[in-house]
Amino acid sequence: MSLGSWLRGLAARPYRSVSAEEAAALVEDGALLLDVRTRPEWTAGHAPRARHIPLAQLPARLSELPAGRVIITCCRSGARSARAARLLARQGHDVANLSGGMVAWARAGLGLVGTSGRRPGRVA
């Protein structure tokens, strides 16, 4: 193995990236959408069937995640969820990261709900 291919292997992501539309289809097929944003961001608006575990709590709450099920990580823009995806992939999970995060989800016209239930959610 050459040094270049070895370095590329180190830099390779252990997870895949998916569009909002692909993420929605995966959720329909049984994947778990894991929102790693903060509580105020989650409260403002989130995907209807998402599960919330803030990124800071994720290492301590790994046991709450299902084995053998695709997990799609999401945050506001995709950066924090990429860190979550990397962590989960290292733990052996089949992981995808929502490219563009909840901003992309909302732009794709996919639903957002707020925890108050009084109005549609928004990306905070």
Give catalytic residue positions.
75
Sign of the C-alpha dihedral, residues 9, 15, 17, 22? positive
